[in-house]
Structure 1
Amino acid sequence: METRANNLNLTEKEEEVLIQYIIDMDERGFAPKLSGVEDMANYILESRGAKRVGKLWAHRFVKRCTKLKTRFSRVYDFQRALCEDPKLIEEWFGLVSNMRAKYGIQDCDFYNFDETGFMMGIICPGMVVISSERNGRNKAIQPGNREWATAIICGNGEGETIPPFLIVQGQVHLSNWYTETDFPADWAIKPTSNGWTNNETGLEWLKHFDKYTSQRRKGKYRMLVLDGHESHESIPFQSYCKSNDIICVKLPSHSSHLTQPLDVGCFSVLKRSYSCQVDEFIKAYINHISKVEFFIAFKAAYQQSITIQNMKAGFRGAGLIPFDPQAVLSKLDIRIRTPTPPSILLESANSWVSQTPHNPTEALLQSTLVKSRIARHQSSSPTPIFETVVALAKGTERLAHENTLLSAEIRMLRKANEALSKRRHVKKTQLHQGGVLTGQEAIDIISQQEVDIQIRRDERQNRGNSNGESSTNRCCSKCGKTGHNSRTCSNNIIDPRLLDS
């Protein structure tokens, strides 16, 4: 930290606590934004009744603090970050190495397969060239057809692939899928109700895989690296693998962006290439991407992106061929963990050296030292006592500031938890089958359901009256009639006195 100015909002001790709090959050993968730093400073200032910082304070604070800096953050899935534990990744690489050695798996028999989805008419954003006189951000036009299709792709460590397996939404095969697209003879199409894979489709793909790899294998066994999709863990899938000498190795959860060759080297290229093909349709004023256009675009994109070079690059980037776990471990730059608390000194009060305490135990040792020095002090200089008390005061101040920040964080988490709990416990009643509802239409349906429930309750009560006495029906509190409640009453009761006036 540079030489401090006299007009700073926070004291030196307050800034030290704030800096350490930011560093701790960063180490856990939750680096705050500048607005978050501003909020932390205001929490500290509010605790002592001071004025809030200005809008540019956080920017200037980070700029003059040598321990902090700003950078653009990546949006990072929490579960992926949670699973990026070097120990877990190392253990998985050890498993792969042992399995390959045990079954004698050669590079040509080492396969990876996975599904990747497409919304047929959606393209990826990208950099474009526009007129220098144009203001604002360019808006790309896309067909907008969001019909879902899935492609199952598979390749081995030598870059060889098997014909892709395409899943589209539908019930029957149509002749123009094949006659109008120059569809390759060995590619496969499977229509399903939603264009997604399932247990049945997974087994059908496995037979497709066996058909194209069983004759070209060099060893007895083939190894198949796959993710934890439900269809890959079904009993028929696993039984077929066992019966046909296919060894399955499951990827670590939420780690496919690091350890799966297809994700590392092929899928992003495939998606970009597909977007380019759709863009060509747009330039030709084809404004709706049907299955025919999808097959044409996918075929061109597949041939451009799923190449021997890209497949090999995927296995190399995933650290599998050549075997190099460090290629993945070196990319792990985030740790989701609770920071290790400051070391708690276990020494007795006799061995404690006067210093600023950083936790309650150290504060207790410091206060014990103060008491002992006061007890021993007679005519000697009071300087050591003063220094000890000052150190104790600094530690107390530090703990108070940390408590302020933690209390603010707890309030925020408690508020978020209450909102989440409220959403989870809201009664979910079916109102309408499909179609479009306005807010008023939904309220009317709810009101009618309440009336229907009340009528059924009254009818049950009438049937259960064994004494023959007429049961008292519930009436509307406004008009006194049955069949509805005050909420849905169409009559307004007007005080007669208002009519006379």
Structure 2
Amino acid sequence: MYHGLTPKATRRLAYEFAEKNHVKIPDSWKANKLAGKDWFTGFLNRQPHLSIRTPENTSLARISSFNKSTVGAFQAKLEEVLKRHEFTRSDIFNLDETGVTTVQKTQKVVATKGQHQVGKVTSRERGQLVTQVGIIGANGIALPPVWVFPRKKFDKHRMLSGIPDEYGATGLVHSSGWTTSDNFLRVLEHFVAHVRCSKERQVILIMDNHESHLSVPAIDYCKENGITILTLPPHTSNKLQPLDRTIFGPFKRYFNQGADDWMLSHPGQTLSIYNLAAICMIAWDRSATPSNIKSGFRCTGIWPFDKNIFSEEDFLCSFVTDRVAPPTENKVLEKNVDASLPSTSSAQPLPEPQTRAEIDHHKQNFVSPSKIRPYPKASERKASRKGPPKRKSIVATDTPERDEIAQKKLKKNRSEIDLKNIKKAKKKVMSDSSSDEEEVIYKDSSSDLDLEQDDDEDEDLTKLEVQSFIVSKVFGKKSVRHYAAKIEEVVLDGYNVKLLKKQVASNRFRFSEEPPAFVSYEEVILKLPNPLTDRSARYADMIYFNIDLTEYSLC
């Protein structure tokens, strides 16, 4: 359940167990409020199936995401795709990235007992990252890897030094060394060139749902070349991905060994990114063996397809955070859900173990360890709409999913462009307004100026017309600023507006020279009355509003 007891916590539990059940214990236990070290040693000797292990750090997201409901939905998608195209072992592939650096994890060495500091040479303090893309097939084949180097220009002679041309590896570059949408398209071209898939000979490619994997050009390229993309549920690759289960572990071990050997055979030299490809090639060939690959697809239940590959014990990790699923408003969806799929909402509390001792001492108020230290359980989570929408396993090449991804990308790109325009306009407004002279307008109720103001104070701010003037808010890193603007166009979820720049200590405004910016409905807080102009030639290009705007920090 990923909440194991340390040796000291186990000794404390043994003391509390003895106290609750009135067992005679040594005085040293009472003084220290925990069992002795000799008892703990004897306990391990009496329980040969137990040992002290160093646990692997596992994030809460991975623990809670691997549950029956999530895994069941992925397996249902996989089964549907396998039946739809009648895929066989040779048509199923898995793709994932892993990082290697120029600073290896050193291996153990022989040293003198009692020596406190034992060192091992590495090339530098911090290494440079190179991403390796690995692709394997359920029939036991491993494609030549693809490397992404942290450079802007690709130098095949140096970056693929020691890699024969017939090996078929591919090198790419990016300033960060990470995989991007453009580079991933090149990875797919590498995949098609080696697998030779087409619309007549279709294949399935299983991978995680990272943003760089799900660009619209990549999905369209896959559809044109007969590739069906099935994404894994978020934070479950450590259990559902064959590469993570049986390939990347041995690969990293062989890579570290190879980097150690390189440092020993090149004394006084630093390991650079131009030496990594040759080391990775050897480590990849040694780790991506047919037996390891087939074992990875088998233990994840992908091929041979097995819905029951994971037992109840495997899902105990999610028991701690398991909560009742909230009721859905879409009753049509409830009718279409496969009742055979497991659901976390039906999960029952973990039954207490019934031992012979518990049964015999039941009448004597026997207290079990589970009552002294109950199984950990998270509290009920409050319903909240904050945060990004939760992702799930999808068949990305299906038309509905592809169109949804394209719509989200389009909306995101437009928002980024509009936000950039707003920032530019804000800088321009602040720089221009600081150079204007301070001037204050004094209103006279008997003035012959037009003092008309909109009477409808409750006007719907989502249905404003073009040429209307508004006050909108913009969230900064530490504060919220307000801008006056004129609506130029009504678009989806908001308006395209022309920003106004406020003159210092005045309600007078000038139109900004920046291009129109996007303002969502939520950012509109007030509709302004019709603007007024001054007859003075000095203020001929300015407008002002007959309304008190001092409560807004207008820019």
Bucket of the pairwise TM-score, normalised by the shorter protein: 0.5 to 0.7
Aligned mates of 1:28, 1:178 — CA distance in 2: 42
Aligned mates of 1:104, 1:462 — CA distance in 2: 73
Aligned mates of 1:184, 1:55 — CA distance in 2: 72
Question: Deviation string for 1:216-239 (max 9, x for gaps)?
Answer: x89632100010110111111111
Judged with a 3 Å threshold, the aligned counterparts in structure 2 of structure 1 residues 466 and 75 are, in CA distance, closer, same or farther, namely: closer
Q: Kindly state the Cα deviation for residue 88 of structure 1 after the two structures are TM-superposed.
A: 2.1
Q: Kindly state the Cα deviation for residue 257 of structure 1 after the two structures are TM-superposed.
A: 1.1
- The reply on whether 1:169 has 2:150 as its aligned counterpart is yes
Q: Kindly state the Cα deviation for residue 286 of structure 1 after the two structures are TM-superposed.
A: 4.9
The aligned residue for residue 81 of structure 2 is: 99
The aligned residue for residue 129 of structure 1 is: 110
**Contact 1:281–1:287 (CA under 8 A) maintained in structure 2:** no
Larger-gyration structure (1/2): 1
The aligned residue for residue 404 of structure 2 is: none
**Contact 1:28–1:336 (CA under 8 A) maintained in structure 2:** no
Q: Kindly state the Cα deviation for residue 307 of structure 1 after the two structures are TM-superposed.
A: 2.0
Judged with a 3 Å threshold, the aligned counterparts in structure 2 of structure 1 residues 340 and 32 are, in CA distance, closer, same or farther, namely: farther
The aligned residue for residue 337 of structure 1 is: 320
The aligned residue for residue 121 of structure 2 is: 141
The aligned residue for residue 438 of structure 2 is: 464
Aligned mates of 2:210, 2:97 — CA distance in 1: 10
Aligned mates of 1:196, 1:212 — CA distance in 2: 23
* SS of equivalent to 2:120: coil
State which of 306, 313, 322 in structure 1 corresponds to 2:295.
313
The aligned residue for residue 284 of structure 2 is: 302
Aligned mates of 2:247, 2:182 — CA distance in 1: 26
The aligned residue for residue 242 of structure 2 is: 261
Which structure 2 segments of 5+ residues have no match?
17-28, 325-364, 366-370, 380-429, 442-555
Q: Kindly state the Cα deviation for residue 98 of structure 1 after the two structures are TM-superposed.
A: 2.0
Judged with a 3 Å threshold, the aligned counterparts in structure 2 of structure 1 residues 219 and 325 are, in CA distance, closer, same or farther, namely: farther
Aligned mates of 2:200, 2:302 — CA distance in 1: 18
Alignment-mate amino acid for residue 57 of structure 1: K
**Contact 1:181–1:292 (CA under 8 A) maintained in structure 2:** no
State which of 195, 198, 202 in structure 1 corresponds to 2:177.
195
The aligned residue for residue 234 of structure 1 is: 215
Aligned mates of 2:104, 2:148 — CA distance in 1: 19
**Contact 1:28–1:337 (CA under 8 A) maintained in structure 2:** no
Question: Deviation string for 1:135-171 (max 9, x for gaps)?
Answer: 3363332213511101111111111122211100112
The correspondence of residues 239-388 of structure 1 with structure 2, limited to 5 A, is: 239-284=220-265, 285-329=267-311, 331-337=314-320
Q: Kindly state the Cα deviation for residue 328 of structure 1 after the two structures are TM-superposed.
A: 3.7
Question: Deviation string for 1:11-50 (max 9, x for gaps)?
Answer: xxxxxxxxxxxxxxxx6847688479979x99xxxxxxxx
Aligned mates of 2:8, 2:138 — CA distance in 1: 46
Judged with a 3 Å threshold, the aligned counterparts in structure 2 of structure 1 residues 124 and 54 are, in CA distance, closer, same or farther, namely: farther
Instruction: Give the TM-score normalised by structure 1.
Output: 0.55
Judged with a 3 Å threshold, the aligned counterparts in structure 2 of structure 1 residues 286 and 334 are, in CA distance, closer, same or farther, namely: same
Question: Deviation string for 1:87-112 (max 9, x for gaps)?
Answer: 32133223212210111111101010
Aligned mates of 1:207, 1:461 — CA distance in 2: 55
Aligned mates of 1:101, 1:249 — CA distance in 2: 14
Judged with a 3 Å threshold, the aligned counterparts in structure 2 of structure 1 residues 136 and 462 are, in CA distance, closer, same or farther, namely: same
Structure 1 vs Structure 2: percent identity of aligned residues?
Answer: 19
Alignment-mate amino acid for residue 143 of structure 1: S
The correspondence of residues 424-435 of structure 1 with structure 2, limited to 5 A, is: none
* SS of equivalent to 1:231: helix
The aligned residue for residue 222 of structure 1 is: 203
Alignment-mate amino acid for residue 151 of structure 1: Q
Aligned mates of 2:78, 2:117 — CA distance in 1: 47
Alignment-mate amino acid for residue 244 of structure 1: N
Q: Which has the higher helix share?
A: 1
The correspondence of residues 388-399 of structure 1 with structure 2, limited to 5 A, is: none
Aligned mates of 1:75, 1:265 — CA distance in 2: 18
Q: Kindly state the Cα deviation for residue 463 of structure 1 after the two structures are TM-superposed.
A: 4.9
**Contact 1:106–1:218 (CA under 8 A) maintained in structure 2:** no
Q: Kindly state the Cα deviation for residue 178 of structure 1 after the two structures are TM-superposed.
A: 6.1
Alignment-mate amino acid for residue 316 of structure 1: R
Alignment-mate amino acid for residue 238 of structure 2: H
Aligned mates of 2:200, 2:214 — CA distance in 1: 24
- The reply on whether 1:108 has 2:90 as its aligned counterpart is yes
The aligned residue for residue 192 of structure 2 is: 210
Aligned mates of 1:309, 1:223 — CA distance in 2: 21
Question: Deviation string for 1:415-459 (max 9, x for gaps)?
Answer: xxxxxxxxxxxxxxxxxxxxxxxxxxxxxxxxxxxxxxxxx9xx9
Aligned mates of 2:201, 2:436 — CA distance in 1: 77
The correspondence of residues 55-66 of structure 1 with structure 2, limited to 5 A, is: 56-60=32-36
Question: Deviation string for 1:250-279 (max 9, x for gaps)?
Answer: 112111111111111111111111111110
Judged with a 3 Å threshold, the aligned counterparts in structure 2 of structure 1 residues 79 and 32 are, in CA distance, closer, same or farther, namely: farther
Q: RMSD in angstroms over aligned alpha carbons?
A: 4.4
* SS of equivalent to 2:317: coil
Aligned pair count reads 322
* SS of equivalent to 2:318: coil
Aligned mates of 2:115, 2:37 — CA distance in 1: 33
Q: Which has the higher strand share?
A: 2
Aligned mates of 1:311, 1:339 — CA distance in 2: 32
Aligned mates of 1:74, 1:175 — CA distance in 2: 38
Aligned mates of 1:115, 1:312 — CA distance in 2: 19
**Contact 2:106–2:260 (CA under 8 A) maintained in structure 1:** no
**Contact 2:243–2:296 (CA under 8 A) maintained in structure 1:** yes
Alignment-mate amino acid for residue 295 of structure 2: A
Alignment-mate amino acid for residue 334 of structure 1: C
Judged with a 3 Å threshold, the aligned counterparts in structure 2 of structure 1 residues 327 and 129 are, in CA distance, closer, same or farther, namely: farther
**Contact 2:160–2:171 (CA under 8 A) maintained in structure 1:** no
**Contact 2:203–2:226 (CA under 8 A) maintained in structure 1:** yes
**Contact 1:269–1:305 (CA under 8 A) maintained in structure 2:** yes
